[in-house]
Amino acid sequence: METMPTDIREEAALVRRARWGDQRAFETLYDRHAGAIHALAYRLTGDRGAAEDITQDTFLRMVQFIGGLRGDRPLRPWLKRVAANAAIDRLRRERLVSGSIEADALVDGAPAMDTGLDASTLLRRLPADIRTLVWLHTVEGWTHAELAQRFGRSESWSKSIVSRALQQLRAHPDTRSDHMPP
Q: What is the pLDDT of residue 34?
A: 96
> Residue 168 has what pLDDT?
84
Average the pLDDT over 46-52 and give the result.
92
Residue 35 in contact with residue 2, Cβ under 8 Å?
Answer: yes
- Measured from the Cβ of residue 163, the count of other Cβ atoms closer than 10 Å reads 15
Going by pLDDT thresholds of 50, 70 and 90, the confidence category of residue 177 is very low
CB atoms near residue 147 (< 10 Å)? 21
Answer whether 179's CB lies under 8 Å from 173's CB: yes
pLDDT at 182 over 50: no
Instruction: Sketch out the chain's domains with CATH numbers.
Output: 1-98 (1.10.1740.10), 100-182 (1.10.10.10)
Q: How far is CA 92 from the centre of its chain?
A: 14
Nearest to 157, CA basis, from 167, 169, 168, 145 = 145
170: amino acid identity, one letter: R
- Check whether 112 has a pLDDT greater than 50: no
pLDDT at residue 105 above 80? no
For the chain, percent of residues with pLDDT exceeding 70: 76
- Which residues does 133 contact at the CB level (< 8 Å), separation at least 6? 101, 147, 151, 158, 161, 162, 165
pLDDT exceeds 70 at position 5: no
> What is the pLDDT, as a whole number, of residue 174?
54
Q: Is the pLDDT of residue 1 over 80?
A: no
For the purposes of burial, counting CB atoms within 10 Å of the CB of 44, is it exposed (0-12), middle (13-18) or buried (19 or more)? Answer: buried
Identify the CA nearest to 133 among candidates 151, 121, 109: 151
Q: 25-34, 111-120, 152-161, 167-176: which range is least confident on average? A: 111-120
Average pLDDT of the residues of the chain: 79
CB-CB contact of 106 with 130 (8 Å): yes
pLDDT at 77 over 70: yes
171 or 65, greater pLDDT: 65
pLDDT at 54: 96
**What are the percentages of helix, strand and coil residues in the chain, rounded to 5?**
75, 0, 25
114 pLDDT exceeds 70?
A: no
Distance CA 150, CA 110 (A): 24
